[in-house]
Amino acid sequence: MNIHEYQAKAILKSFGVPVPQGHVAHSPVEAKEIAKSLPGDVFVLKAQIHAGGRGAGQFVGEPASGGVRIVRSAAEAERVACEMIDRVLVTRQTGPAGRLVRRLYVEAGCAIARELYLSLLIDRESRSLVIVASPDGGMDIEDVAARTPERILRVSIDAGLGFMDYQARNLAVGLGLSGRLIQSFAALVRAACKAFVQLDAALIEINPLVVTEGGELLALDAKMGFDDNALFRHSDIEELRDENEEDPREVEASRFGLSYVGLEGSIGCMVNGAGLAMATMDIIHARGEAPANFLDVGGGATRERVTAAFRILLADPQVEGVLVNIFGGIMRCDLIAQAVIAACGDVGLGVPLVVRLAGTNVEEGQALLQASGLPVTVAQDLGDAASKIVAAVRARRTV
**Active-site residue numbers?**
117, 205
Residues contacting residue 26 through CB under 8 Å, at least 6 positions apart? 85, 102, 103
Q: Angle, nearest 10°, between helix axes 5-14 and 180-198?
A: 110
Residues contacting residue 246 through CB under 8 Å, at least 6 positions apart? 50
| C-alpha distances in Å from residue 20, one per residue of 110, 161, 184 | 8, 31, 16
Neighbours of 141 (CB within 10 A): 18
∠ CA 95-99-105 to the nearest 5 degrees? Answer: 130
Residues contacting residue 384 through CB under 8 Å, at least 6 positions apart? 356
| Cα–Cα dist 238/236, whole Å | 6
